[in-house]
Each structure stands twice: as C-alpha cells, then as structure tokens.
Structure 1
Amino acid sequence: MTETRSKFEAVIFDVDGVLVDSPHEAAWQESLAELMTGDWQDLRAETSWHEDAFTPEVYRQVLSGRPRMDGARAALEFFGVPDAEHRAVEYADRKQQRLLRLIDERRFRAYEDGVRFVAAVRAAGLAVAAASSSKNAGLFLKAIPAQGRPGVTLLEQFDADLSGRPVAHGKPDPELFLTAAAELGVPPATCVVVEDAISGVQAAKSGGMAALGVARFGDAEDLARAGADLVVASLDEVDVDALTLGRLVRRAHGSD
C-alpha cells in the first residue's frame, strides 16, 4: 500500500504470532493427540487424524486467530471427528488446561521486533491496543518487559486491552477490531491492524482498516492473498514515520 490515506491514529495488535511466540499451537496439537490416543481412540478409524497430521500449516490455516471454541470446532471438523460440535467443548477445555501448564513452564518467548514496534509507534504518537481472540494473551503480555522501560510490562504499554473480550462473532468478523477502535476513540479507517493470521487480516479489511501482515513462517503469499496491505517478515521493516502520514510502507534501505 503506497498511496496516502487519512492519517493513521492507532495500531491494533494481535498477540500470538505477532508479539509472542506462544505455546498455543503445541497445546492444540498435544491435546488432540492425547484425546485421539486416549478417550477418543475408538473414533480414530473414522477420522483423517494420525500422529503427524497436525502440522504447523494446519494450525495456521484452521486454528490461528480464532476464538477457542471456534478453533476447536474447526479443527475437529477438519479431521472429520464425529459430533464435532459436541466434542469441541471437551477439546477446548483440554487445550486450555495444557496451555496453562505450558505457560507455567515458560514455554514461550517474546518477538523482540514486535516489542520494539510497540514502543516505536507509541513514541510516534499513535494509540495502541491489544486485540487477541485469546483470553490468555494478558498472561503473556504481563510477563514481557516493555522496550526501554525497566519495571514496566508490555501489557502496560497499551492504551486498551481487548484480549479475550467476548464478542458475538470471532475473526474473520471485524467485531473485535471495531470494538478496539471504538475504545481508542478513533475511526476504523485510521487504524492499522497487525496480524499473522489469515482470519485476522480478513477481519481487519472487513472492518475498513489497513492490515499489516507479519509472515513469521514463510506464509507471505497467503497473507497477501487474504488482503494484507503490506506483508513483512519482521516489524523492524515497517517505516513508522510514514504511518503518521497515512502510509503503510517499508523503511527505505539503509535507514535508521
């Protein structure tokens, strides 16, 4: 996106995959394996699931960016598990229990480019909000130090935190992002949404917002096809000064 539009006033961040390399994927994968080799083992012959079937691509295409129950249902339907609507409750609960254990074990890390980008857009005068579908996002953000501010957590850097906020419709519906814009007091058209998930990019565009895709896993083409205005491998590539002029572009080569 090289054209100038109305000045950007806010940046809305997804958390998992953008700011945090979290154990969500591991929790979903391990929980399903536990069920399919345990309580649900009699169902295996009716499904396409096997030990190597839950790949990172399946996570990104089917689960990433969705609210917990929507993701559980989508994954079970993907693998052809009978009565997916009913079994999704058990799967989602099992996943949450495993995720909390993985968080306790500190099986996550911050994406440092994401932490730097939050600090940079704040310094440029833009409002910032966290808007993850996950109710656990705050646990991660509280554990990450803010850039250049000893004793301050990344969570404290946000003007609004809507992570895990109940909404009638999850991504790719734009409701969560539109709610974030409303809480920040800015029009949707002046917001940039930072997402790593296809469903999140679609939600941003449906809400009339600019979408900045972060391709952490070589999925730049997928994010571009979903409608991202700019796709980068690292948020360090984004020209923050240009955002204040309404332009979502890469930094010039060699710029500081």
Structure 2
Amino acid sequence: MPHPPEAPGLGLGPIAWCEPRTLAAVILDVDGVLLASPHEQAWREALTGFGDPARFTTALYQAKVAGKSRQDGARAALEAVGVANWETQASAYAKAKQARLEALIAKGGARAFPDALSLVAAMASLGLPMAVASASKNASAMLRAITLADGGSLADAFAVKVCGRDLARGKPDPEIFSLAAAELGIGPRHCLVIEDASAGIMAARAAGMMALGVARLNDAAALHAAGADLVVSSLDEISLSSLKHGRLGLRLAVSDPGP
C-alpha cells in the first residue's frame, strides 16, 4: 500500500489521505502516545552495573525496547548494548529498572501530551469506542494519575484497558491489540491503532488493523518502514471531520477541525 504524502508544518498540507476501510474503534498505546513517561530514563539509569548507560540511546530504546514487556525489554536492551551474559542478567536488570521507574513516577515523572488529551476528548465526543493497550504494568496507575477537566482520570476515558497483562507474546506479536479489539467487540479490520514505536506498528498490521504512527522523535521513516498507514508528528494533524465519517486523514486547512 502506498504511503501518504507528507504534509508540511502542523499537518495543514494541501492534501489528505485516508485508509479505505471504515474506522469504528481506536486503540492507543500509552508511553509515547498518551504520556511522556520515564520508561526510557528508567531503563537507561538502571543499566549502571550491567552495562554502559551511554550506549542506551533514544534510537535504541525506540527500535529495541519500546512496546515490549519488562522481561523482553530487559533482554533486548542488554543484548543491544553488548552485555555478554545478557540472558542471565535480564531478570535482575528488569527488577532494577522497575524500582527506578517507580521512584521516577513518585516524583511526578509522567505527564500527558496535550495533543493526546485533545484527541481523546474529540473521539469521546464522537462516540468512538476507545481502548488503551500497553505492556507496561505501570500504565494503568499513570493514566489514573492524570486528571481531566471534568475531574475524572484519563483512565476513565477508555472502555477497555489492556495494560500490564501477562500475555504469551509481546509486540510485535499482535496478541495485545487482538485482545483489545475482542474486548471492544469490534472486528480488527475496523480498528485503528495509534503507536509511536515500530514494534507497535508491526503488531497492529499483523492484527489486520489500521496503524497511525506518531513520530514525536523525528522517526517517521522508521514508522513508515514498519508499515504505518499514516504518520504524523502531532496528533493535532488528524482531521476530526474524517474521524467523524469513519476515516483516517490529515487536516486539509485551518477550517478542517483537528482534535
């Protein structure tokens, strides 16, 4: 399938593109899509004593660790930074990362992206069923800590929450998204997944779903290569009028409302 043309600036380009399938539900990843969480920082800082933290770059995190379960992420990180006996050290590293993450969260280390909050509110107003899907066992607690304008928590915005469950396989396997679709009661073909990591995009496509990549880290090329139907740098670029008609598209102009 050809990729959509890039729109300059904030997505107010001259053309819009949409997937020729009816969009009936949306499944969102948490870290990097809804929240700027301290996961990457925790993985890097916990490397002390196992490997060289300086080798744990953002690019490495996005390509090798993001979207994976804690144990799988630990294995992938240690192997990627060149730890010789990564198999035997993975469990200890995963525990160290979790302890560091909890400390960072306690200090207020997670915040919601404003464009994500706007899109969630817009999709709720349209009556689009929404789910969150994350391998992180900390995702639900972080979502509950974000208070919305109506006094509820961000977690309350989602009818289905598939977060931190003990699944047989992690991303890029489609299991987590297939489970979210099943719990929403919507066929995979009519689900849109919003992801910021290549593994998540591949999981969405393997599940037979549409995939929107969010290139917050200027990694649009990697998200396209993973199979994203559309890639944006901000969720404000998404056309609300397209969503209203069950399509995925870019805003055409200022008059075409975003989230």
Normalising by the residue count of structure 2, what TM-score does the alignment of the two structures yield?
Answer: 0.89
Tell me how far apart the structure 2 counterparts of residues 51 and 176 of structure 1 sit (CA, whole Å): 30
Tell me how far apart the structure 2 counterparts of residues 82 and 4 of structure 1 sit (CA, whole Å): 45
Deviation digits for residues 178-198 of structure 1 (CA, Å, limit 9, x no counterpart): 000000000001100000000
Task: Please identify, of 51-60 and 154-163, the stretch whose mean Cα deviation from structure 2 is larger.
Answer: 51-60
Task: Please identify, of 90-99 and 238-247, the stretch whose mean Cα deviation from structure 2 is larger.
Answer: 238-247
Matched, 1:84 2:99: no
Report if the CA contact (8 A) 1:7-1:244 is conserved. no
Tell me how far apart the structure 2 counterparts of residues 204 and 227 of structure 1 sit (CA, whole Å): 9
Report if the CA contact (8 A) 2:160-2:184 is conserved. yes
Which position in structure 2 is the counterpart of 1:50? Answer: 52
Which residue of 9, 14, 20 maps to 2:35?
20
Deviation digits for residues 216-238 of structure 1 (CA, Å, limit 9, x no counterpart): 11101111111111111111110
Matches within 5 A, 1:78-117: 78-117=80-119
Tell me how far apart the structure 2 counterparts of residues 240 and 182 of structure 1 sit (CA, whole Å): 25
Which position in structure 2 is the counterpart of 1:44? Answer: none
Report if the CA contact (8 A) 2:52-2:81 is conserved. no
* Structure 1 alignment gaps of length 5 or more: 37-48
Matched, 1:29 2:31: no
Matches within 5 A, 1:221-236: 221-236=221-236
Report the CA distance between 1:3 and its aligned residue.
Answer: 4.8
- Aligned AA (2:245): L
Task: Please identify, of 199-208 and 3-12, the stretch whose mean Cα deviation from structure 2 is larger.
Answer: 3-12
Which residue of 141, 145, 150 maps to 1:139?
141
Tell me how far apart the structure 1 counterparts of residues 110 and 18 of structure 2 sit (CA, whole Å): 37
Tell me how far apart the structure 1 counterparts of residues 210 and 113 of structure 2 sit (CA, whole Å): 22
Tell me how far apart the structure 2 counterparts of residues 250 and 169 of structure 1 sit (CA, whole Å): 33
Report the CA distance between 1:251 and its aligned residue.
Answer: 1.1
Report the CA distance between 1:52 and its aligned residue.
Answer: 2.2
Which position in structure 2 is the counterpart of 1:59? Answer: 61
SS in 1 for 2:163: coil
- Say how many residue pairs are matched: 241
Report if the CA contact (8 A) 1:4-1:246 is conserved. no
Which position in structure 1 is the counterpart of 2:13? Answer: none
Tell me how far apart the structure 2 counterparts of residues 25 and 193 of structure 1 sit (CA, whole Å): 22
Tell me how far apart the structure 1 counterparts of residues 18 and 236 of structure 2 sit (CA, whole Å): 21
Matched, 1:5 2:27: no
Report if the CA contact (8 A) 1:238-1:251 is conserved. yes
Report if the CA contact (8 A) 1:4-1:245 is conserved. no
Normalising by the residue count of structure 1, what TM-score does the alignment of the two structures yield?
Answer: 0.90
Tell me how far apart the structure 1 counterparts of residues 175 and 52 of structure 2 sit (CA, whole Å): 35
Change (3 A) 1:5 1:245: farther
Which position in structure 2 is the counterpart of 1:172? Answer: 172
SS in 1 for 2:47: helix
RMSD: 1.3
